[in-house]
Amino acid sequence: QASEAIVDDHKTRAAAAAGLGRILVFVRLRPMAKKETEAGSNCCVRIMNHNNNKSDVYLTQVSTDNNDYLRLKRLRGRHFTFDASFPDSTTQQQVYSKTTAELVEAVLGGRNGSVFCYGATGAGKTYTMLGTVENPGVMVLAIKDLFNKIRQRSFNGNHLIHLSYLEVYNETVRDLLSPGRPLVLREDKQGIVAAGLSHYRAYSSDEVMALLQQGNKNRMTEPTRANETSSRSHAILQVVIEYQVKDGSSNNNNNNNNNIVKRVGKLSLIDLAGSERAIATDQRTLRSLEGANINKSLLALSSCINGLVEGKKHIPYRNSKLTQLLKDSLGGDCTTVMIANISPSSLSFSETQNTLHWADRAKQIRIKACDVNVEMQIPDCGTDQAKLLLELQKENR
């Protein structure tokens, strides 16, 4: 049994190594909401999956025959290819299996992994990450999977899973499981930690959903003009698994091949704040400050990922609370997955376009790492995302 665990462990490490430096980018289209239909919107997104594991997303304002993809392809800047794109019929389990299951394997191998959901408010980020009781999302399915895998590999009794759930709101860090005063970030031997952050030991996946739902009720949500409940906060679930295995690896200098070693893996699941333009909400003072901070965090996140993939010496983690917190989930041994959430409605056309451009950018970072230079199209609208993209592109030259 123990040797099985070791073989699995090595496989896991190999799989994780193969994924190093890669940012996998996925797109998830949510179903049309009743409100959107009632407002007379039509579907402006088409997804086409190919046999070669790639998939295309088309964005269109013209009404087209479902098969008129060639015509759509000619609409420059409106056609994107991703690692996979999920049509609105995709189940939570399918999204989990395609995007995160491998990462959970890597985490079990003692590595760090992170999954980000990015997109405008209402695009389906929280549904994808948290989900509902009937349809639990990536956060819950990942923990369930962790428990199952641990049971199968029989390192029962020797493992510890603990989780913490926090949010960054207006550059302030708060504990979602034990709300109180804002948390201060401190640097210690393990890196940046939120001082006083509560850690819950998880004994079963069943209790996790309730815990997370309670946590989500503590999130800062405030009505804005753009949306009734616009989430301006970044929520981060950190799942840490610690366990002991017999270390039979060949690079173990000790003659005794049966050393017991402690492995620690960390999985960060991140529900980012809405990416919509601050301009659309047309609010000043506090709100514009918030907007600036949200963009600051997203910009900082992009800069860090960029820097890491390009092998830059200085990675600007310190530029935002979000990137400080995610420092050890982004660099080095970490595998990163991005899920871009989009609405099908023509009413969200420009938000969707921005999201797809951002996701396309993230995807190109990976291509650039393989030494292929790709020019990207900048959206023709003066949005924050467009400016961000321009800045990123300048930085890359």
Q: Which residues of the chain form contacts with ligand ADP (CB under 6 A)? A: 30-31, 33, 119, 121-127, 231, 274, 341
Query: What's the Cα-to-Cα distance from 57 to each of 8, 110, 396, rounded to whole Å?
Result: 36, 35, 25
Minimum distance of ligand ADP from residue 42's CB (angstroms): 18
Which letter does DSSP use for residue 90 in this model?
-
- Per DSSP, 370 falls in state T
Tokens 């049971």 sit on residue: 151
- Tell whether residue 329 is a contact of Mg ion (CB under 5 A): no
Report whether 124 belongs to an annotated binding site: yes
Q: Which residue is nearest to Mg ion (CB)?
A: 126
Q: By the 8 A CB rule, do 82 and 55 touch?
A: yes
- Provide, rounded to whole angstroms, the least separation between the CB of residue 387 and ligand ADP: 22
Distances in Å between the Cα of 165 and the Cα atoms of 121, 139, 171, 214, 238 are 20, 11, 16, 10, 6
Stretch that binds Mg ion, among 117-125, 137-145, 149-157, 352-360 (CB under 5 A): 117-125
Which residues on neighbouring strands pair with residue 159, listed in sequence order? Answer: 243
Provide the sign of the torsion angle of the four alpha carbons 93, 96, 97, 101, taken in this order.
negative
Shortest gap between Cβ of 298 and ligand ADP (angstroms)?
14
Is residue 123 part of an annotated ligand binding site?
yes
Single out the residue of 45, 180, 48, 24 nearest to residue 106, CA to CA.
Answer: 24
Q: Which is nearer to ligand ADP, 111 or 174 (CB)?
A: 174
Q: Is 224 among the residues that bind Mg ion (CB under 5 A)?
A: no
126 labeled part of a ligand binding site: yes
Output the smallest distance, CB 355 to Mg ion, in A.
14
* Choice between 26 and 127, CB closer to ligand ADP: 127
Alpha-carbon separation of residue 290 from 118, 218, 219, 286, 304 (angstroms): 17, 18, 15, 6, 21
**Residue closer to Mg ion (CB basis): 125 or 357:** 125
**Is 122 part of any known ligand binding site?**
yes
Residues in the annotated binding site = 119-126
Instruction: List, as residue ranges, the binding site for ATP.
Output: 119-126
Binding site for Mg ion (CB under 5 A): 125-126, 231
